Amino acid sequence: MLHYSAGLPERLLGSQIPVPGGVNMTFHEPLGVVGIIVPWNFPMPIAAWGFAPALAAGNTVVLKPAELTPLTAMRLGELAAQAGLPDDVFQVIPGRGSVVGARFVTHPAVRKVVFTGSTEVGRQIMAGCAEQVKRVTLELGGKNANIVFADADVERAAATAPYGVFDNAGQDCCARSRILVQRSIFDRFLELLEPAVQGVRVGDPADAATEMGPLISAAHRERVAGFLEPSTKVAFTGSRPDGPGFWFPPTVVLPASPTDRVVTEEVFGPVVAVLPFDDEADALRLANDTEYGLSGSIWTSDVGRALRVSRGVEAGNLSVNSHSSVRYWTPFGGFKQSGLGRELGPDAARAFTEIKNVFIATD
């Protein structure tokens, strides 16, 4: 991300617009001070998503890491100083969101706030920034659908599905926590999914063979477990180690209704709901039946269907026959209550600028 952003200043191109009576030009001017609030689930890369293009656009940055994961951000601040950034251009300020993050929102010198986290907190930040008409970029929650059609490579779709939801122990706003499977292949898909889930290697993150680690905290594990109510039908689970760690096994549930909490709310843990659908229209109805719209996957061998469904799903980042949502050289962001604005990609630095229009009279 840092290497990529190093090339962004030369992409901040203005325009020369033909007008009568003179010459018209536009410039991308830096905003000033940008406040960036970083979550705990990807503490180092998401910090760079914000501060790298913000600095490239000529701004100064104050960055607040999450309370649970401050160390990588503090190290980045040290490295920035060692690399020769002028004093106070990039500052890291650990602290509570209700103190440091709230001050980003209320301080008049901060011209933009970038927040990645829950939709609930994002709403509060947006409302606070409205007091000063302060710019915001919000990357919020997700309840993403992995749609598997009957004409897909079902074996591959089932084999890869666990990694679309259980990566980072499901602590990912892009996690495909709803798998929608066409009814004619529903039973076959579940048969193939079970060994794939049970084959996920859960263990010590320091072990190169590990594919899924523990949850972030005891409190978060308790929250995730709360989605498995007594009435919840658990189809099967994967493994979990004994010993220290906030472990939770990869878990597949068959909801009784599309209105069950596990279907409608963001779990942010290794729990996935599998539901059947009848046809393309039904798949789109279920996929879009959420307040979120961040990412998703579509599995089909029909190119026309892939394009139709991609246009029909209300989400900002979709992949066909894969589960890849985030690439630092392409835009990332959500529809609906999954957020506001876009990060990453060739236009990332533009989000930290204002367009200035200048007319020079020649007559």
Catalytic residues: 139, 173
User: Where do we find the tokens 């990039």?
Assistant: 90
| DSSP helix, strand, coil percent of the chain (3-state; round to 5) | 35, 25, 40
Cα separation, 244 vs 274, whole angstroms = 30
Q: Which amino acid is at 148?
A: V
H/E element holding 358?
A: strand 353-361
* Alpha helices in 216-297, H assignment, sequence order: 218-225, 261-264, 280-287
Nearest Cα to Cα of residue 137 among 272, 37, 16, 40: 37
DSSP assignment letter at 363: -
* Alpha helices in the chain, H assignment, sequence order: 2-5, 43-56, 71-83, 102-106, 119-130, 154-165, 186-198, 218-225, 261-264, 280-287, 303-312
Cα separation, 142 vs 316, whole angstroms = 11
Cα separation, 271 vs 165, whole angstroms = 8
Region class of 231: left (phi > 0), else alpha (psi between -120 and 50), else beta: alpha
Terminal-to-terminal C-alpha distance of the chain = 46
Cα separation, 12 vs 7, whole angstroms = 10
The alpha carbon torsion through 296, 300, 306, 310 (nearest 10 deg) reads: -10
Asked whether 73 and 27 are in contact (CB, 8 A), the reply is: no
In three-state secondary structure terms, 32 is coil
For 129-268, list the strands marked E by DSSP: 135-139, 145-148, 178-182, 234-237, 251-253
